[in-house]
């Protein structure tokens, strides 16, 4: 997977905190947040002129994670062009935002994107990982 990691942090599931990773270039950013009950991944565009949060993906319910007592490494990685971002937890992809096609992917498929946002998807597909394939 060809990514540029712009944020890396060790967390404990269910402990309040957030991690922000900005795109290597441009106005996009992504934030992973654990509010103590749930984990969410947010797509932000600081160049949109309005509300920067463009989309949100549910990652987990803390109460459902059996090994939450163990530390987890969270990474936010971007495609070289800075239009696609992946959330990795312990090296495993949990969510992807593709800003260029306004498409989100997450393992829970929740919540559905708001129709007004212009974003589609949220269901997981392994083609989300192919978005980060290194180009020859």
- Say if CB 77 and CB 124 are below 8 A apart: no
CA dihedral 20, 92, 112, 24 (to 10 degrees): 40
What is the reported pLDDT for 1? 65
| Euclidean distance between CA atoms 86 and 105, whole angstroms | 9
What does the pLDDT look like over 5-37, one tens digit per residue?
Answer: 999 999 999 999 999 999 999 999 999 999 999
What is the pTM for the complete model shown?
Answer: 0.94
CA atoms within 13 A on the CB side of 107: 13
What does the pLDDT look like over 34-87, one tens digit per residue?
Answer: 999 999 999 999 987 788 999 999 999 999 999 999 999 999 999 988 999 999
* Residue in 60, 80, 57 with CA at minimum distance from that of residue 72: 60
- Say if CB 81 and CB 4 are below 8 A apart: no
What is the reported pLDDT for 115? 84
Helix or strand holding residue 120 (H, E): strand 120-122
Tokens of 92: 């495993």
DSSP of 94-110: EEEEETTTTEEEESS--
DSSP of 31-76: EEEE-SSEEEEEEEETTSSS-SEEEEEEEEEGGG-TTTTS-EEEEE
């Amino acid at each position: 997977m060809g990514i540029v990691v712009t944020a890396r942090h060790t967390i404990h599931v269910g402990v309040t905190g957030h991690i922000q990773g900005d795109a290597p270039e441009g106005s996009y950013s992504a934030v992973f947040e654990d509010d103590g009950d749930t984990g969410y991944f947010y797509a932000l565009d600081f160049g949109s002129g309005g509300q920067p949060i463009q989309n949100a993906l549910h990652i987990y319910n803390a109460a459902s994670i059996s090994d939450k007592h163990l530390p987890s490494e969270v990474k936010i990685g971007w495609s070289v062009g800075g239009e696609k971002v992946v959330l990795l937890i312990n090296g495993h992809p949990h969510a992807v935002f593709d800003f260029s096609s306004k498409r989100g992917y997450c393992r829970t498929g929740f919540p559905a994107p708001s129709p007004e946002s212009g974003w589609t998807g949220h269901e997981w597909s392994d083609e989300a990982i192919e978005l980060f394939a290194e180009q020859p």
